[in-house]
Each structure stands twice: as structure tokens, then as C-alpha cells.
Chains A and B, each alone.
Chain A
Amino acid sequence: MRRIAVIGGVIALALAIAVAWAREDRAVVQIYPTADRLPANLLRVYIVFDRPMSAGESAEHLTLLDDTGRAVEKPFLQLEEELWDASGQRVTVLFDPGRIKRGLRANLESGPPLVAGRRYTLVVDGGWRDANGRPLGAPMAKTFEAVADDRTIPVVFDWTIDAPASGTRDALVLRFPEILDRALLASTISIVDPSGASVRGGVSIGVQERSWTLTPDHAWQEGNYQLRVASELEDIAGNSLRRVFDADMTTSPASREDVQSVVTRAFTITGARPSRPTR
């Protein structure tokens, strides 16, 4: 009897290993932001999967553990409809804004979901089902340290523009002093050439979402270019170019009416590549 149980156990284990092997350990492709030090008032996380997923499962299969291994109680905003992109492969998860915003009852009762100085692990468990109802199988975790709150708006004029030389198809690189929102980076920035046309090319987002690179389809011309950034661009704490996520009205207004809906910054491309990036 015992022998049968042992053989059965071995077969079950072998099957489990085979299934895990066949499935490949990459169901969750990436969790954004990718940095491992994040402001305690972090607002938005993106989880990217390698396959279309079932909706309505994040509450059950996404957990935030603190540094004692305990699950943080209700850290995320629960929505009737989860925020998936059209492919069903990327879900947006918002930390509960009521707990982040100062003065709200949720913040007073439960405190903010993240406390600066502590370490957290975000766990996507293997039970999350794909669109065909199959569990992912392999879990994925991201550990990070919460650091001081970020309650300031990103300023385009604080960015570094690493401009290439004219006549080349070298990449233009923008570097940011803080982490910006991965998704908005892909859709809010454009470069306008001296004739006023938008420069076409391939865009990539750099390490820890702190740079943006454009490799143009055609060579750069000599002359005055413009960096144009839609003011809806946010950092990872939800501060946009013209609005602080959670403003203390007694010290500063929430919205900056002086910031235009598109922020424009001029720069020049010359024959010689500048020895130092423009700041």
C-alpha cells in the first residue's frame, strides 16, 4: 500500500515538473515600474503578461507582502471593471487613492498602503487564469523598497537632452531625474523638426523608466528642433506636468494653470555632437 502511495507521489511530482517545464517560466513578462526603490505614494503599477488573460481576478491573485511576510490589507483600488489594455495582456493596478491621499478617512483609518523605509514584495500568483481559463502556473514577484513620497510635478526643463549630430541617424536620448510612467512615456512625447513635422522613428524606454530614446527613420537636419510633451505625462506617483496628485491647497494650488497643455522646449542640432548633453 505504502509502495503504491510512493510511486503515485513520484509520478505526480514528475508530472508537475513536466507541466511546469512545458509551460515555460515567463507568464508575467514584466512589472512596471522596474526600479527597486519607489516612492511610498506610488500610484500605478502595470503588469504585462505574455498571453491574453481573464479579467476580474486581480483581487484574488495579486498580493502585496510587507517585510515581515504579512499581506498588506486592501492596498489596491478595487474596480468593477479592471483596467486592461485592448490586447488583454496588460493590466493597470492602482494603489487605493483614498489611502494615499492625505486627510481622507481611508488614509486616516488604514494608513497609506506603503510606508517609506520598508521593503515590500508584489506577488502575482500562479493561479491567475489566462483567457482560456488555464492558470499561469508560475508565480512572479517583485521586491522593492518604499522611499519618501513624491509630491512634486515633473518639470520638462529639468530633463537632459542628449542631442545627436546632424547628418546621422544616431539616437536622441532624454534623461529624467525621476521615474516616469511607462505607458504615458510611450504616447506623450514627440520631437518636431525645423520644418514643424513630427520626427518618425523607433522609441524605446530606458532602464528604470528614466530615459526615452528616439532613433529616427531619417537623418537629423541641422537646425532648431522642439521637444513637445503632453502635460498629461505623469510620474509614478500620479503627478502630471500641471497637477500634483494630492495638493495641499494651503501651500500650493493643485493645478498649475501656467503650464500649457503641451509643454514645448527648444533645442538645436548641429554638425558637431555637443561634448556635453544640453541641460
Chain B
Amino acid sequence: MSVDTRTRLRPSAAPARFALVASTIIVAALSVASVASYRVGATAAVVPSAEAPLPPGFVQGTPDLKSAGALTFGPNGTLFVGDSRGGAVFALSVDDPTPDPHRGEVAINDLEKRLGKLLSLAADQVVIRDMAVNPATQHMFFSVARGRGVDAAPAIVRATLDGELSLVPLDNARYAKLALSDPPSDTAKTPWGASSRSMAITDLAFTNGELLIAGLSNEAFASTLRRAAFPFTKGARATTLEIFHTSHDKYETAAPIETFLPYTVKGKPALLAGYGCAPLAVFNMSDIDREKHVRGTTLAELGGGNRPSDMVAVEYNGKKSVIIANSDRTLMRMRATDIDKSEPVTIASTMENPIIGTPYTALAVVGVMQLDVLNAENIVMVLRDIETGSIKVRTYPTKYL
């Protein structure tokens, strides 16, 4: 084995050529797509109103959004967009003033195909990353990658409850940017230096005037939670804290959070966190405020080989629950009262007794990838149909949860 890995790993001219060609194609695609959007969504095009004053910390222009992943809504129609590739979170002020008149069930089929039509892409080149509902209007916003390449250009698409799609224009947008990337290291530069470090943003949540960002580094395995006060100030950076969770009172581990939900547990503000390695843990916000290293406790294990992909909080007739979407289990419901009663898991599950920790109910829905609260009556789900393999949008009445 040769010692000089530098030679082998030095970027050649080919990627640069590729980048040039790719960016030309992307620019061309963007212009085609933006024209298409005004055609498709002529009556519903989301055009920012020029008159309203800029929110504090915001600028007007074209955000350098390199990818669009995790989404969540903040105050006053602010859509937070996680940009893993650009190492940033953008706060977009979306102009979405009119509540959707639609009431009742929602059924949108063949979402990839329909998005492909809007973005002038084949359905298999449409990658839906996340969905968030604007609580003021009930419109759904999707983050989408235009293609499967790592450098695929992003798009944000709005959907009405009747399934009408329109592209959210990113030129002349009102936005604020929060940089997440670590300051460059002063170490001697190598082709594997700090520039190769990236973070996949797995989830975002807005709570109590603050944006919380969970992510996973492509290099170090720390479980890092980042937080930033909003509005972002100029040159804002997120602060980081490392969080551990304990299992069975015996093992203490760091792991990246896959999805999380600000929630009140035992009367106190807390974070429920779902991990890729399947436990569900709870962290006290007061610990997060105080400490740099925070320990949480495992409440339940959601099944080996399973990955919780999204969580929402619902309430109907005073009965509160958390709904959990899973990669390899059905949609689950946990009652808030059961979460409050939960003790840290101290015993390992066995084949005879496989479900330990907080009890849950398996709901008769599979393939759910994204969840959000639509309104008081419904939650909305983005799910893959197991018959057709296509992606669809459905609602689930809160009264049955």
C-alpha cells in the first residue's frame, strides 16, 4: 500500500469540468422550472409581496441554498430550511397569506410524478426530503432535490390541500442565514482537511424563540445538538452541545438524533429524541440550558432495525399523544400520560418480552415517511404506497388518535 494518499486523492480537473457542466445544466433547469411554475400555478404562484418591511435580520435576494432537507415552520410564516450541503439553515419568509379553504380529508396521489411535472424532471429524479405545514394556512411545503446526484439543486414546493403545486421562487426572496460549519481548522491543509467535513441535518424544531438543529457529522460520531436564537443576528452561529443517552442504567452512549420533538414531560419542558439505533430518549430543557454535556434517559426501544423518522404532538378532547412514524414499524401512538409515567428503561428486552418501556399502540398505517399537524382535526402524512410504490399524501383524523 502506498503511503502517499495525497496523490491519489487530489481532486483532478475532471470534477471541476463536471461541476461547470452540472452548474450550467442546473442554471438551465432552474430557468425552465421557474417558467414552468408560473404556468402550472398561475393562480397560486407564491410571489413575495414587496411592500411589507423586512423582518429583523432578514435580507432580500437569492439565498445560496445548496440543498434543501429538514423543514420546520417558525413564527410569522418563517420556513426554516436545513441545507446540509451548504452547512447552513435558512429562514425563508414565505409569502403564503391566505388560509386554504379545503376542509376534511386530503388525498394526493403520485406526488413524485406531479412534482416531476412541475420541475420538468422524470419522477425517479424527484427526491422528497421533508414536508412541513404552514400552521397559518394549512399549506404543505416540500423540500425537494432535483435529481439524485449529491449536488442536485434544491427546490421548495408549496402544495394546497387540493393538490395544486407551485414552486416557491428563491430569487428575490426574503431570508436570513445561519452558518453551521465549523470555523476552518488551522491544521496543515490536506485534500481530506476541514473542507470535507459536512453535517447531515436530520431534524429541525422551533421552540421558545429558538431553533434546535439535530445532525450527524460525516466524520466525528458526536451526538451534537445545535441551538440558535431567532431572529438570527448578523454572522450568527449555532452553539453546540453533546448529548448522551443511557440504556438499561448500564451503557452510556453518544448517538446522532434522527428526529426530535419539543414536548412537556412530567410538567417540564423537554425534548423527545428518536435515534437511528432505535431508542426513544428524553432530555430536560433545563439541563440543555445549563450544561455542555447533557444526559438523557431512554424511555423505550422502538424495535431493532427500525428507525423513527418523524414525530408530532396531537391533542383531541384534552387527550394528548405523540405520533411516531417509523422506517420498519407501523405508525405508533404514545399517550402523554404514559410518557409521563415512564421510568428509565433498566432491563433489556427479550424475545418473550420484546416491548419494553413506554407502551405504544400500533396504528394501521405503514410506510409513513413524513408527518405534520394539519389542523385541529387532522394530521397529514407523506407515505409510500405499498401496492404501487408511489408516494402519496393522506390525512389521519385526530379524533381516532
Contact = CB atoms under 8 A, between A and B. Distances in A.
Chain A partners chain B: yes
Interface of A: 29-30, 34, 43-44, 48, 50-57, 74, 77-90, 92, 94, 96-99, 101-110, 129, 131-133, 181-190, 198-208, 213-214, 230, 232, 234, 238, 240, 243, 245-250, 253-255
Contacts of B351: 109
Interface of B: 1, 3-6, 8-9, 11-12, 14-15, 18, 22, 69, 84-85, 127, 129, 145, 148-152, 185-198, 200-202, 216-222, 244, 246-255, 275-279, 293, 301, 303-305, 307, 309, 327, 348-351, 354, 356
Nearest to B197: A187
A110 B187 contact: no
B contacts with A: majority SS = loop
Contact of A206 (B3, B190, B219, B253): B3
A83 B202 CA distance: 11
A61 to B, nearest CB: 13
Given A104-B251, A240-B220, 8 more contacts: A34-B1, A52-B18, A55-B152, A81-B200, A86-B196, A190-B188, A198-B186, A214-B188
Given A52-B151, A79-B216, A90 B221 contact: no
B348 A103 contact: yes
A157 to B, nearest CB: 20
Contacts of A56: 127, 148
Contacts of A48: 9
Contacts of A201: 188
Closest 3 CB pairs of A and B: A98-B277, A88-B150, A106-B304
A195 B253 CA distance: 40
B332 to A, nearest CB: 15
Nearest to B310: A80
Nearest to B148: A54
Contacts, number: 237
Interface hub of A86, A188, A202 (most chain B Cβ within 10 A): A86
B248 A103 contact: yes
Contact of B305 (A89, A106, A188): A106
B148 A79 contact: no
A48 to B, nearest CB: 7
B307 A187 contact: no
B253 A245 contact: yes
B283 to A, nearest CB: 16
A183 B191 CA distance: 10
Given A84-B150, A98-B304, A181-B219, A186 B3 contact: no
A83 B216 contact: yes
A245 B220 CA distance: 11
Contacts of A240: 220-222
Nearest to A181: B219
Interface hub of B14, B15, B149 (most chain A Cβ within 10 A): B149
B287 to A, nearest CB: 15
A213 B220 CA distance: 21
A79 B18 CA distance: 27
Interface hub of A34, A51, A57, A97 (most chain B Cβ within 10 A): A97
